[in-house]
Chains A and B, each alone.
Chain A
Amino acid sequence: MKNTNKNQVLTKATELLPWYAIGKLSPDDVSFMDQAVASYPELKSQLNIELSTIEFVKKNPDLLNATALESPEDRVNQILNLLEESSYELLESKVNIQKKNQSQSLLKKVFGRLFPNAASFGAYQYAGIALVIFSLVVIVKNTFNDTPVVIQESVFYPAAKQNTTLKNKTNQTVLLLGVNGKLDSPKLLKLLEKVDAEINAVPEKDGMYRVTLGKKLNSITINALLDELRAEKELVWFAGESN
């Protein structure tokens, strides 16, 4: 209630500010503004800005015909320069992603060759498999710093509502994925399962999928995952992440 009142006061005061600054308000409005400025320090600083603006514009009336933006041509040239400067950094990051992808496919190949008939193994053989996986994990983790390679069994809920409470554990990464269409192809679901993903929120239309991953991922791994997703779906846009 208090906040609503504050918002109403600030909205009205912000509208009246120019006339307060030039001294052209009715006595009632002046009294309202005096109280508002005394109660909310942000209005005081806005008033100072307004006064300086009026003074500056009066001295430089040509500014009323000035443009707020550089031309698109100038801006795009600046962007291209910026992209050129950061291209080395991007290249380096792509190499890291490739290294990580190679490490994971190597893991799969080794596992496949060692245990081509894994499905028919008896219970006693799983201990041996677990040991091999653990050893490989240690080797790969030591080789490629900070790259998570343990793929846990996943839980996946395809159609939670938008207002579903987010599971927000500190050891998880939460991605917000913008997808042009539905995030519904079996291949996509499989990819998300690989990182122990759980979709917590599905938008009604053109919003974002909120996907909780089973572990904390670093930015390189997130980019690699998004690259894989993009290869499957036309638009997968990473919009944000939270702990």
Chain B
Amino acid sequence: MNAQLNDTESVKISKAERDTLLLKQIADGDKDAFKKLYISYQPRLIKFCSRILQNDVALAADMADEALIAVWNSAGSFSGKSQPSTWIHSIARFRLIAYLRKSKEVLLEDDSAALALIDESALPEEEIHTTETNDELFESISKLSDKHREVIELVYFKELSVKEVAKVLSISENTVKTRMFYARNKLKSILSSNGF
């Protein structure tokens, strides 16, 4: 158990060290370093943002890009006092709050509304400890899951009612509606990014 913890710890430390080094290189304008950091963080940032943005993956990807551009612009201000991942995720969080304030027209007096939306989800740092690889994460956020594809096929192609879908999938009618709602949201992102 201890050995396992130590292993996890050492992986974490080496990732932090690697990212700190990448940030230093980015501060010097190293584009390859930025590419490495981007590919390492983008899927996790998209996943974090998309949960807050009601699974609007396309918008979440734009928010993740904005945060990572900010990392490019301010990498020099990272002093190493905290984990690079915490720093990067904080930037994404603040971008998200700023966006929510703008788009939801949250009044200045009511920051708590925007913050509450953020707090409802897992802390972004927790995304780092997910066991999914980046490729798996990217796949899961950018494509329809099997469950979503299945419910869309049953409704759009087979034209089954809520009750019939519930029976076929052995789930409640409410779950059918909710699943279809999220499946349609994901499908919209897919269609819009494919020019529909």
Contact = CB atoms under 8 A, between A and B. Distances in A.
Contacts of B90: 178, 180, 206, 235, 237
B161 A76 contact: no
Per DSSP, chain B at the interface is helix
Contact of B61 (A50, A69, A73, A239): A69
Given A56-B196, A163-B112, A237 B94 contact: yes
Contacts of A6: none
B44 to A, nearest CB: 11
Interface string B134-162: 10001001111000010011011101111
A11 to B, nearest CB: 9
The number of chain A residues touching the other chain, given as a range, is: 35 or more
B91 interface: yes
Nearest to B87: A235
A153 to B, nearest CB: 25
B183 to A, nearest CB: 9
Interface in A205-243: 206-208, 210, 230-231, 234-237, 239-240, 242
Given A178-B93, A178-B94, A76 B57 contact: no
A80 interface: yes
B85 interface: no
Contact of A15 (B152, B160, B181): B181
6 contacts: A19-B162, A22-B159, A58-B156, A64-B153, A72-B42, A234-B78
Given A14-B181, A230-B74, A230-B77, 9 more contacts: A19-B155, A68-B58, A70-B193, A71-B138, A79-B38, A207-B97, A207-B115, A210-B111, A237-B90
Interface of B: 31, 34-35, 38-39, 42-43, 46, 57-58, 61, 65, 68-70, 72-74, 77-82, 86-87, 90-91, 93-95, 97-98, 101-102, 108-109, 111-112, 115, 134, 138, 141-144, 149, 152-153, 155-157, 159-162, 164, 177-178, 180-181, 184, 186-191, 193-194, 196
